[in-house]
Structure 1
Amino acid sequence: MYHLTALVTLLAIAFYFFTCIYVSRSRSKTGVKAPAMSGHPDFERAFRIQMNTLEWMPIFLPALWLFAIYVSNAGAAAIGAVWIVGRIVYFIGYSQAAAKRGPGFAIQATAAIALWAGALGAVVLRLV
């Protein structure tokens, strides 16, 4: 069973939901009315946090599950947890200033690439 990977998946979705709420609150706080996508820098950073998280979900989630299936459920969950921590670090940094987003981005990108590379390697090994 893949309970650990399922838990990480649910936590990733919860984090994404949190970023959606953050954007909504930022929109209200800064006065950026829908459908505007720009205006106040605080809103723009909040929006980019949400969108960047969304952009990485289709990379992260399939890689997470393929790693769990072909390599290790616990390993996938551990690396997936690192991805979530990276997204949180990204959120904190980018919320303060665009220049502070790098460390969180690097953490989550490294975790996603590790999941993808591990899954790819395991699948290829089974094919040969």
Structure 2
Amino acid sequence: MYHLTALVTLLAIVFYFFTSINVSRSRTRTGVKVPAMSGHPDFERAFRIQMNTLEWMPIFLPSLWLFAIYISDAAAAGIGAVWIIGRIVYFIGYSKAAAKRGPGFAIQGIASIVLWAGALGAVVLRLV
């Protein structure tokens, strides 16, 4: 069973939901009306945090699950937790200034690459 990976998946979804709520709150706080996508730097950063998280989820989630299936539920969940931590660091940094998004981006990017490369390696090994 993949209980730990399922938990990390649910936590990633909760984090994405949080970023969506943050965009809505930012619209209210900054006066950026729907459907505008720009207008105030604080809103634009909140929106980019949400969109960047969404852009990475199709890379992260399949890699997470394939890693869990082919390698280890616990290892996948651990690396997946690092991805979530990276997204939180990204959120905190980018919320302050665009220039501060780098460390969180690097953390989540490395976690995603490890999951993807591990899954790919495990699948290829089973094919040969």
Aligned to 1:80: 80
Runs of 4 or more, structure 1, over 4 Å off, are none
| CA deviations over 1:89-124 (Å, ceiling 9, x no partner) | 000000000000000000000000000000000000
Q: Measure the CA separation in 2 of the matches of 1:39 and 1:120.
A: 42
TM-score (norm 2): 1.00
Q: Which blocks of at least 5 consecutive residues in structure 1 are unaligned?
A: none
In 2, Cα distance between the equivalents of 1:39 and 1:108?
A: 28
Give the C-alpha shift of residue 126 in structure 1.
Answer: 0.1
2:127 aligned partner: 127
AA matched with 1:120: L
Aligned residues with identical type, % of pairs: 87
- Residue correspondences, number: 128
CA distance in 2: counterparts of 1:71 and 1:118, whole angstroms: 8
Cα offsets for 1:20-45 (capped at 9, x unmatched)? 00000000000000000000000000
Q: Which amino acid aligns with 2:50?
A: Q
CA distance in 1, matches of 2:70, 2:43: 40
Where in structure 2 are there 5+ consecutive unaligned residues? none
Partners of 2:107 and 2:85 lie apart in 1 by 8
Residue 22, structure 1, aligned to residue 22, structure 2: yes
The code of the aligned residue for 2:119 comes to A
Q: Which one-letter code corresponds to 2:35 in the other structure?
A: P
Match of 1:4 in 2: 4
